[in-house]
Structure 1
Amino acid sequence: MDPSKPKHDNEVHETADHAAGTSYVYDGGLVDEVDEAYLRAPKSTRFYRGVLFQMILFGALSFVGPAMSDAISNLGGGGLSTPYLANMATALSYMAGCMITIFGGPLINKFGIKWSCMIAAVSMPLAGSAYYVSAKYEVDWYLLFARLLGGFTSGFLYVAETAAMLSYPEPNDRGFYLGIWSAMRNSGSVIGGAINFSNNYSRANAGGIAWSTYLIFVGFECTGVVWAIFLSPTGRVRRRNGSRIPMPSNISWKKELVALWRHLQRKKTWLVSIPAFYSFFFGGTMGTYLSLHFSVRARALSSLITPYLPYLVMFSTGYWTQLSLYWILGTFSTDVGSSSRSGGLFRAFETAGQAVSYALNSKTGADPRIPFYVNAAILVVTVPCMVFLIRLVPEVPATTDIDAADVVVHEDASDPDRK
């Protein structure tokens, strides 16, 4: 197939039957789809290698990492006395995350999902410790450095967990496993909010939160390495019926980048960019508003509950539609290679939106109405993009790496020694 030939996003590729006993190409060779040894293994082994336990571990990583970081951000300005330094640090973090997630597909396909999560887990305690050092000792450079470094490493987790959520479950089970991950991640924000309020409920004045609050978050973040260690390599993960996870072929860095470029050229990639960009755009605007206009106690309470009906509606529908967007992404491919690129670009657009949101709110004396105007304008553009994206959902998701397949086939055709 000519590699320059454009692809159709709604094209359904022929795939092998998923019934027990059928076969397909797995990691470069033809193997049985169902692992009979796994089905005969003890129940504890099947649970440990199963998709359910992997999703629980991803949920735990999100619980102690991004969720705890969000709980600090939900205080408004990271709980500091003024929001501008924290907003700048958060903008740097998401900018760094965006740079990693753009190339997240090739990186995850080379390092693997487990080791990518390990990289992210090691740096999780930097977030809480940076705010603690800034609040107590006024060492601002460490906050900026820690958030920047944490942004680079968090990018690995963003892509790894998204790739796993899109490729590990069977298509008819994906909603169930997405629900488990989302529930654990969001419960982390709730528990983080409870920590904020329990430590600061008596502080009715303006200013920063109690320093000890950050140390509790550091304790949670330090457990991230434990959950990452328990993850199974993708090649050892099995679905409920014993089937293996479709794995990408072992291609070079050059061909990975070519496959990423092909993915960027797809219509669905650009349609999903606007909803992804907008999905968490409210963070910087809301956090700055809380920091400038509410006391420490009110900010701590707001991180536990949403005080106004509009916020309640925004959060509930936001989490619901965010899960729908992940489900739509999963319908375009179920193999790890293509899912890594889809997830990486999705999280790149998402973190870019968060970086812009916090950057707009990092300048002292800026008109606070501008972020609200930008937020409303992006919402108007998001709606038609979602409509067109839904129309591209295929009848059957592809189980092969639709981006890299043509690259490998074209190379084989041009190199007769690779027969």
Structure 2
Amino acid sequence: MGLDGSLDQESAAPAPALPRRSLFRYNSPLTQVGLIGLVCFCCPGMFNALSGMGAGGQVDPTAANNANTALYTTFAVFGVLGGGIYNVLGPRLTLAAGCSTYVLYAGSFLYYNHYQHQAFAIVAGAILGVGAGLLWAGEGAIMTSYPPRDRKGTYISLFWSIFNMGGVIGGLIPFALNYNRNEAASVNDGTYIGFMCFMTVGALLSFAILPPSKVIRDDGSTCTNVKYSSVSTEAAEILKLFLNWKMLLIVPAAWASNFFYSYQFTNVNGVLFNLRTRGLNNVFYWGAQMLGSVGIGYVLDFSFPSRKVRGYVGILLVALLGTAVWGGGLAHQLTYTREKLPEKLDFKNSHSDYAGPFVLYFSYGLLDAMFQSLVYWVIGSLADDSETLSRYSGFYKGVQSAGAAVAWQIDQHKVSFLGELIINWSLMTVGYPLLLVLVKLAVKDDVKGEEGDKKEVAPSFAH
């Protein structure tokens, strides 16, 4: 202890020596990233499965479109604020508060199944937007700051795979429970109840996440130079993000990164396939996300010695894949319109007609994971400390959600399917060259002197 009675002794004490292979320690970055993956498996993973059915599992998409607009509007605000809230409250309270709102949202569609009143779904969507902003800001801080600098792509792919397994399992729920259900009907109550059970588990599991000061890498360093912040400090730092040139370069990619969900879920999966086939398609859509995240994670961590070069190669690879996938989507979109809808396909009875649209939908999932994992890797390469990365991640999710809010209303206002596809393709394409500029100007190859090497003790309330 110092002369003034401060915690210098604890702060200066060397971190305990740990064996290099103890990857599965509870306080290791690997375990903690795995845990946040499980939290997102249960909450946003199940939400994705619910949304992926098209119209939230309902026949009429109006309630789901309006609920999603409310959701992403509040998400846009609290996504940006979420990083600051995380820095004040710490991970456990932030994540638990965020996760609890997912249960309410799924319950609102259970209510809608019986009463057909969309007001509850819209209010629940707005509340979920607040919670999602908190959850994803905390998740972004953990996923980008806990891993070692040279393995961020690998840890991001690990998180993305666990998280999207939620979409896979969540897709099996409506597939199994609605296998023999009439196509003109909405999904049954058991589907929503199943989602609510998983989401409740996710909220409880969030209390298992450790704060950065207690997470220790295999070299004995803590994950960040952590010092929990104040409301006034965070307000000032969040405002600075809107003048930060790095964040401004991220804006087009962030805006595009959830914009396409309304088109893909409602106007591809929802329009082309019957009820049980939509559930099956979601299993493969989110499974494709797992494959895509692992593939791009390998490229971004192991393909070349230079981190800049790995960034360039990753961006070019995703750009080429994006061009091919959206080009295939354009070719298929030209075969139907809002005014001339095709006959719905069933995986069991329309094998030859089903194969092409299925591969397209699978490819959309593959591209989504690769694109978002790439953006997260770029964000993670801009800093190492949890405080900064929580703000960056929150800004990314805020802009992303603002784009999604606009996208759901574009669909609600019946813009042509072809118009929606062209908007989506164009927005994603604009993001690639700006990401290249960001990697060139802001990503450094020098990996010496990580911020996490300096250990400070967080106040006890955050532990």
Q: 1:348 aligns with which of 398, 403, 420?
A: 398
Task: For 1:262 and 1:95, locate their aligned partners in 2 and report how far apart those are by CA, in whole Å.
Answer: 21
Q: 2:281 touches 2:358 (CA, 8 Å); kept in 1? A: no
Corresponding residue for 2:277? 298
Q: Does 1:55 align with 2:105?
A: no
- What is the SS of the residue equivalent to 1:203? coil
Q: Distance in 1 between matches of 2:173 and 2:114?
A: 19
2:210 aligned to which of 203, 212, 232:
232
Match among 356, 369, 376 for residue 425 of structure 2? 376
Question: Where does residue 338 of structure 2 map in the other structure?
Answer: none
**Corresponding position: 1:325 with 2:375:** yes
Q: Distance in 1 between matches of 2:216 and 2:127?
A: 34
SS in 2 for 1:134: helix
Structure 2 letter corresponding to 1:341: R
Pick aligned residue for 2:169 from 191, 206, 228: 191
Q: Residue 386 of structure 1: CA displacement? A: 2.1
Contact 1:61 1:228 in 2 (8 A): yes
The 5 A counterparts of 1:278-289 are: 278-289=256-267
Q: Give the match's secondary structure for 2:412.
A: coil
Change (3 A) 1:160 1:250: closer
Deviations 1:129-173 (A, max 9, x none): 111111122232111111111110111110001011111111023
Q: Structure 1 runs of 4+ off > 4 angstroms?
A: 27-30, 397-401
Encode CA deviations 1:81-139: one digit per residue, 9 max, x unaligned: 11121011012111111111112222111111221111112222112211111112223
5 Å-filtered alignment, 1:141-290, equals 141-289=119-267, 290=269
Distance (Å, rounded) in 2 between the aligned partners of 1:111 and 1:378: 35
The letter for the 2-side match of 1:377 is S
The 8 Å contact of residues 56 and 64 in structure 2, kept in 1 or not, is answered as yes
Partner of 1:407: none
Show structure 2 runs of 5+ residues with no match. 1-6, 286-356, 453-463
Residues 204/302 of structure 1: CA separation in 2 closer, same or farther (3 Å cut): farther
1:313-335 residue CA offsets vs partner (Å, 9 max, x unmatched): 22213212321221111111100
Range with bigger deviation, 387-396 or 340-349: 387-396
Deviates more, 1:280-289 or 1:299-308: 299-308
Q: TM-score, normalised by structure 2?
A: 0.74
* More displaced 10-residue stretch of structure 1: 226-235 or 391-400: 391-400
Q: Map of 1:31-42 to 2, 5 A cutoff?
A: 31-32=11-12, 34-36=14-16, 39=18
Q: Which has the higher helix share?
A: 2
Report what 2:440 is aligned to: 391
User: Are the structure 2 counterparts of residues 212 and 92 from structure 1 closer, same or farther at C-alpha, using a change threshold of 3 Å?
Assistant: same
Distance 1:367 1:377, change over 3 A: same
Aligned twin of 2:58: 80
**CA 1:380 to 1:228, structure 2 compared with 1: closer, same or farther past 3 Å?**
closer
Q: CA deviation at 1:250?
A: 4.8
Residue type of the alignment partner of 2:82: G
In the alignment, structure 1 segments of 5+ residues that lack a partner are 1-26, 402-419
CA contact (8 A) 1:73 1:79 kept: yes
Deviation at 1:300, TM superposition (A): 2.3
Identity %: 25
- 1:310 Cα offset (Å): 2.6
The alignment status of 1:316 with 2:366, answered yes or no, reads yes
Counterparts in 2 of 1:347 and 1:190: CA distance versus 1, 3 Å = same
Q: Identify if the C-alpha distance between structure 1 residues 323 and 33 changes in structure 2 by more than 3 Å, giving closer, same or farther.
A: farther
Q: Secondary structure at the match of 2:266?
A: helix
Deviation at 1:72, TM superposition (A): 0.6
Give the paired residue count. Answer: 370
AA in 2 matched with 1:395: D
Counterpart CA distance in 2 for 1:384 and 1:68 is 33
Cα–Cα, structure 1 residues 141 and 157, in superposed 2: closer, same or farther, change >3 Å?
same
Normalising by structure 1, report the TM-score. 0.82
Q: C-alpha root-mean-square deviation of aligned residues, in Å?
A: 2.5
Report if aligned partners of 1:131, 1:214 keep a CA contact under 8 Å in 2: yes
Residue 321 (structure 2) aligns with: none
Is this contact kept in 2: 1:285–1:372, CA < 8 A? yes
